[in-house]
Structure 1
């Protein structure tokens, strides 16, 4: 009895506890780090003017012209503001001012998670609808039948799953920023990987590492390199060749790393970092027992489900879809599957709600993760950190400068996990510093995506904990897998950046 209690006492806390600990520490930071703000510029299309909000909240207007941008030392092209390419407030260089401290206390600590849930309601509803579909597919046996058929088809060549999934998701990440959308893939792919005799970490790694490595080495990512290049006043084609090489090599390194771990697990399951949960996963994802036959009805249902992901990729990549449209797509998919399944109306709703309920924890984690950013934003400490680092690197040797930029963006990635948000807040400040050390601004863009991408692998404020919660894996087990790989990536990024500033 005492031994059981001891094990429970020493077990790693859940994602909820980790997030609340980070939230508490973030509140403490708002007491320690001085509050400060840069003045922000935004384009008012209704008036065709630039609205400038200073640190005290006062708003002034300037003509929406290139001369105004030049006067404010903002390097972006006026056309990028007028056509909506830059549609978020941009930091104005040289305008940082300390403001009255706004520490986030007990009241803010309590309210922040609630605000976080409201802020992420789009993602949360998407997760619920997805869970409902999975619940129906599991109830009718279509999932089990499809997984069994796929397992038979890939027998002896299961490693192809890892290569295909990681490469495809990485490609989506580098081109259109595939990230949050990958949450939908875990309930589908985890049973497939388990049937192939891998563990759930192999699946999480293929999906999450694939997404992170793609967005980290973004080539034409509209929410990262394009926005950042616009803010820096350069074409996103600048530095493209270096980012493309980094993407290809980085994806190859990722696949090799996952394959090495996967081979070890397949050869000896006890080597798995989640070996102690194997029975739990087998029960949850029904990897044992005889699966039903893959009938024509099941084939049609699964085809509809898979086709919905093709539509999702098309919508996100070319139609500017976000969670409202993606959720609507899956709602329609759910109704079609419900009709084809032959389940009665009551049974369909019941299984749908059971599936949605299974992802309730994931939904709350998404909201609580957002609460950390809310606390830091309201405490007004992010601009202070940016101001400190911009002064730190000014006038350095170019090689030391670009390496420092990598680590600065790695740190900033915790405070500002949004790639587009980071771009418009920091690039107008950081990119001009490249001029002072004699390197191209495209190198700063590369350091920005590399550094923020590195932090995305582990930051609790991003998708890491939500992804782990999809299959009930604790944070420490993920860190055990990912930290050695992050060390490899840091060395790789440093080499790529030094090559970029010297060639």
Structure 2
């Protein structure tokens, strides 16, 4: 009997899109009114399903709408997205998304996700140029000699540094750039491709899950909840340290098994395929000369500049993509690559990541179906009612799973914060808890589900490494169970201490 293969990432997402389209026929359509701030005119705009209103940008306006957020959170730019207005949910005429909407959804998703798609393609172009220069091979050969016997430091340093990026400024989509660079290095250290995948993706996930100063998560959620972002900071810092250590121990134990016995790898049958894809790292003969060192310095500077720009200069995808384009051109000049060859290499490198770009677009298309079908706010309305009358411990843990479930439909952390916090945060008042508890459950619920959320970044990350979703689930499920139980224990301790 022929073995049934697990479907590809694209097929999984299309099946999810079909499921969401069916939901729009079943789940009632509904919408909360929203409030946004117009800085140019210094007014609020209240948006309802029927019309828009201009309101005075005053604290009295916010109080009248039962929005317990200081006015300065809007005027100084802390809250820049429309927020949901409490107690304004109303059912609307159903907008079921039929076959035509389902067919259009990947196209709409690709258009909406054009910014990150272009970033991925330009990173692919840069990788194509780098591969041609031989700088990667030479650098990997040098690093494998330097780290011989101490390869585990690769896992510790990469996971820890990316977790720091996740907790401070929300390093997530940007990590897609790291896979083609780091995977050959880990393979040269005799690990399988799951180890660098875990170090990068889990590092980012645990960092954003335990956000401390992340403006797209902890800060915007605290602002939307009407509290100072420093509330609960110490608890989040403890969670960051504990969860990162748990993840590191888990990855290191798996890596040690694989290094000791290559057949212990979950993806052992793909060993030859992955090595051919990222280069055979066991027979590298390129010498690291001064020209190649200079090329590697320019390459590394691209990432340093990108991280600095995102964290300090409010850069986003256009600026990040520009950095990789300029870096590619500089490297092409240093390596004396002819113009026609440069263009061919860049286009081929970009085409190698085209499947990743399509996955990102299809995933965004799922969100488009939910928004067009008007079911996202309905999910929020019913889940907020679900927690009524619960005691402290049950409420806190229920909110953890509520946010995990909602993140399937709203995978954006900032989008989740502004849509849900004005609705969810007041629920804490009713059970005698500080609102920071809801901010925490929002972060941990979204963060935990991000480990396996097919509408998030995991499928795009797996596509780069050519690892199936089923293999990832086999690898990460025990860790996810451990982290979930630990988080529930810590949250229970927090509300009763």
TM-score, scaled to structure 1: 0.97
Contact 1:88–1:424 (8 Å) recurs in 2: yes
Equivalent position of 1:95 in the other structure: 88
Equivalent position of 1:422 in the other structure: 416
TM alignment of 1:365-376, pairs within 5 A: 365-376=359-370
Contact 1:133–1:352 (8 Å) recurs in 2: yes
Contact 2:67–2:85 (8 Å) recurs in 1: yes
- SS where residue 73 of structure 1 aligns? coil
**Which of 472, 478, 492 is 1:498 aligned to?**
492
Equivalent position of 1:447 in the other structure: 441
What is the CA–CA distance in structure 2 between the aligned matches of 1:26 and 1:177, rounded to whole Å?
28
1:197 is aligned to 2:184: no
What is the CA–CA distance in structure 2 between the aligned matches of 1:459 and 1:372, rounded to whole Å?
12
Q: Deviations over 1:291-346 (max 9, x none)?
A: 30011110000011001111111000011111100000111000000000112222
What is the CA–CA distance in structure 2 between the aligned matches of 1:241 and 1:79, rounded to whole Å?
25
**Which of 211, 214, 218 is 2:204 aligned to?**
211
Equivalent position of 1:28 in the other structure: 22
Contact 1:242–1:496 (8 Å) recurs in 2: no
- SS where residue 41 of structure 1 aligns? strand
RMSD: 1.0
Equivalent position of 1:141 in the other structure: 134
What is the CA–CA distance in structure 1 between the aligned matches of 2:340 and 2:229, rounded to whole Å?
53
**Which of 386, 389, 400 is 2:394 aligned to?**
400
What is the CA–CA distance in structure 2 between the aligned matches of 1:127 and 1:312, rounded to whole Å?
14
How many residue pairs align between the two structures? 496
What is the CA–CA distance in structure 2 between the aligned matches of 1:57 and 1:275, rounded to whole Å?
57
- SS where residue 62 of structure 1 aligns? strand
Contact 2:195–2:251 (8 Å) recurs in 1: yes
- SS where residue 465 of structure 2 aligns? coil
- SS where residue 282 of structure 1 aligns? helix
Q: Deviations over 1:447-496 (max 9, x none)?
A: 00000111111111111000001111111011111111111111111112
**Which of 243, 247, 259 is 1:250 aligned to?**
243
TM-superposed CA distance for 1:45, in Å, is 2.3
TM-score, scaled to structure 2: 0.98
Equivalent position of 1:379 in the other structure: 373
Structure 1 portions without partners, runs of 5+: none
Equivalent position of 1:484 in the other structure: 478
Equivalent position of 1:438 in the other structure: 432
TM alignment of 1:463-478, pairs within 5 A: 463-478=457-472
1:272 is aligned to 2:265: yes
**Which of 295, 319, 339 is 2:289 aligned to?**
295
What is the CA–CA distance in structure 2 between the aligned matches of 1:144 and 1:291, rounded to whole Å?
8
Contact 1:41–1:92 (8 Å) recurs in 2: yes
Contact 1:118–1:367 (8 Å) recurs in 2: yes
Contact 2:138–2:284 (8 Å) recurs in 1: no
TM-superposed CA distance for 1:241, in Å, is 0.6
What is the CA–CA distance in structure 2 between the aligned matches of 1:57 and 1:415, rounded to whole Å?
24
1:313 is aligned to 2:307: yes
Equivalent position of 1:109 in the other structure: 102
Equivalent position of 2:229 in the other structure: 236
Equivalent position of 2:116 in the other structure: 123
When structure 1 is superposed on structure 2, of 214-223 and 492-501 the one drifting more is 492-501
Structure 2 portions without partners, runs of 5+: none
**Which of 42, 66, 69 is 1:48 aligned to?**
42
